[in-house]
């Protein structure tokens, strides 16, 4: 079966087209596409996703569904996350998507988002490790600890790269006081995880922040999934990049690091600081970077005994 999975996030909209064999738990990616419409721009809980951003979203979806048609996908999954959860018009927009594209679409709660993140990041990992999966999104950050496919702990924290930037890092570059305030807020937000004493063997970081950081580390001028998947970021490398970026405005960041940060140049610092703080709190010295996430997990959850 050829299946398409779309992940509508606060900052990005991602498409995966894959060949799957459900009863054999096989997922072979055919195509991955990424766009950065930032539908959660300026979004506060209970407010509307702006008409300008929803128009961009539908433009991206139009493009994606043309691609899906060309690949003759037999099933289409659309997963919407935090922006749709907190927006007053999230359900109305979801219904428009269902009617316009005749697809399976749903707004998933934070706990399910965390599960999909974990399943996507670990679906081809057969190790005996206890894994931590870190998914830093635009409006929320999901942390999941699991053993094989069994989830031991998961939670969605209401802080992400877009919301963190808009709420705390308001100057460009941010003021020292803003950086200190953001750091303190992250300590408060993630304090809960310091109370869990799971012995994590390995940590996997997914989504735009770690993949962009991996590109920066490797001096890549363009995103290359094969070079990024499985690459390692140490906390000292992350801290060094964060210190450099904190002194630059978004234009300088774009010029320094090139096309690989396009669409993220103004929010990458917030994501880097979130990742650094989580690693600090959990005493993790390095993370493995994965390009897989919710769009993979939505498919893997269909497999027998994988989505329970």
d(CA 204, CA 144) in angstroms, rounded, equals: 10
For 107-124, b where at least 16 C-beta lie within 10 A, e where not — what string?
bbebebbbbbbbbbbbbe
The predicted-structure confidence for 180-227, as pLDDT tens digits, reads as follows 999 999 999 998 887 766 678 889 999 899 999 999 999 998 888 889
Q: What is the predicted pLDDT for the residue at 306?
A: 57
Q: In the block, which residue shows the tokens 């994501």?
A: 271
Domain with CATH 3.30.420.40 in the chain: 2-110
* CA neighbor of 206 nearest in space, from 23, 32, 64: 32
Q: What is the dihedral of CA 181, 109, 53, 70, to 10 degrees?
A: 130
Dihedral sign, CA of 8, 12, 15, 16?
Answer: negative
The ranges of the chain annotated as CATH 3.30.420.150 are: 124-290
Q: How confident is the model at residue 135 (pLDDT cuts 50, 70, 90)?
A: very high
pLDDT score, position 148: 79
Residue 191 vs residue 30, higher pLDDT: 30
What is the band of 25 on the pLDDT scale with cuts at 50, 70, 90? Answer: confident
Give the pLDDT band (50/70/90) at residue 305.
low
Angle at the Cα of 68 (from 67 to 71), degrees rounded to 5? Answer: 90
> How confident is the model at residue 126, as a pLDDT?
73
Question: How far is C-alpha 222 from the geometric centre of its chain's CA atoms?
Answer: 19
Distances 146 to 129, 212, 229, 246, 251 between C-alpha atoms, Å:
9, 25, 20, 33, 39
* Placement of tokens 């995880």 in the chain: 193
* pLDDT score, position 197: 60
Q: Check: CB of residue 105 under 8 Å from CB of residue 36.
A: no
The mean pLDDT value of the chain amounts to 92
pLDDT > 70: what percent of the chain? 98
Report the pLDDT averaged over residues 237-257: 96
This prediction has a pTM of 0.88
Note the pLDDT of residue 199: 76
Q: How many residues does the chain have?
A: 308
* CATH class for the region spanning 124-290: alpha beta
Among the residue ranges 135-139, 234-238, 255-259, 302-306, the one predicted with the least confidence is: 302-306
Mean pLDDT in residue range 2-30? 94
Looking at the structure, give the CATH architecture of the domain made up of residues 2-110: 2-Layer Sandwich (3.30)
271-303, pLDDT tens digit by residue? Answer: 999 999 999 998 899 999 998 999 999 999 999
Q: Per-residue pLDDT for 307 more than 50?
A: no
Long-range CB pairs of 245-254 (<8 Å, 24+ gap) are 245/269, 245/272, 246/173, 246/174, 246/179, 247/173, 248/173, 249/172, 249/173, 250/172
Q: How does pLDDT run across 76-119, given as a tens digit for each residue? A: 999 999 999 999 999 999 999 999 999 999 999 988 998 999 99
Q: Note whether 173 and 258 are within 8 A (CB).
A: no
pLDDT digits (tens, 9 = 90+) for 33-59: 999 999 999 888 899 999 999 999 999
Q: State whether residue 292 is helix, strand or coil.
A: coil
Phi-psi region of 90 (alpha: psi -120 to 50; beta: other; left: phi over 0): alpha
277's enclosing H/E stretch is helix 268-281
Q: Does the pLDDT value for residue 308 go beyond 60?
A: no
Of 113, 116, 106, 102, which is closest to residue 139 (Cα–Cα)?
Answer: 113
């Amino acid at each position: 079966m050829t299946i398409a999975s779309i992940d509508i996030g606060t900052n990005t909209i991602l498409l995966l087209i894959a060949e799957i064999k459900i009863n054999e738990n096989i997922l072979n990616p055919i195509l991955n596409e990424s766009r950065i419409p930032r539908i959660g721009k300026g979004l506060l809980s209970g407010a509307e996703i702006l008409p300008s951003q929803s128009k961009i979203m539908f433009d991206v979806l139009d493009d994606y569904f043309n691609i899906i048609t060309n690949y003759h996908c037999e099933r289409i999954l659309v997963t919407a996350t935090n922006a749709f959860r907190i927006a007053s018009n999230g359900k109305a927009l979801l219904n428009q998507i269902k009617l316009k594209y005749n697809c399976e679409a749903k707004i998933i709660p934070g706990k399910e988002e965390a599960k999909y993140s974990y399943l996507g990041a670990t679906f081809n990992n057969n190790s005996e490790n206890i894994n931590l999966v870190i998914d830093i999104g635009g409006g929320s950050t999901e942390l999941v600890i699991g053993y094989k496919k069994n989830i031991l702990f998961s939670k969605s924290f209401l802080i992400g790269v877009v919301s963190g930037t808009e709420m705390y890092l308001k100057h460009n570059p941010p003021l020292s006081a803003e950086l200190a305030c953001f750091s303190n807020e992250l300590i408060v937000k993630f304090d809960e995880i310091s109370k869990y004493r799971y012995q994590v063997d390995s940590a996997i970081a997914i989504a735009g922040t770690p993949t962009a950081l991996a590109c920066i580390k490797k001096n890549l001028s363009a995103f290359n999934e094969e070079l990024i998947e499985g690459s390692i970021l140490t906390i000292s490398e992350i801290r060094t990049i964060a210190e450099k970026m904190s002194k630059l405005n978004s234009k300088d960041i774009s010029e320094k690091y090139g096309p690989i940060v396009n669409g993220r140049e103004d929010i990458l610092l917030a994501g880097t600081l979130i990742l650094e703080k989580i690693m600090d709190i959990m005493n993790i010295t390095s993370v493995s970077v994965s390009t897989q996430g919710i769009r993979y997990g939505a498919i893997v959850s269909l497999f027998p005994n994988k989505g329970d």
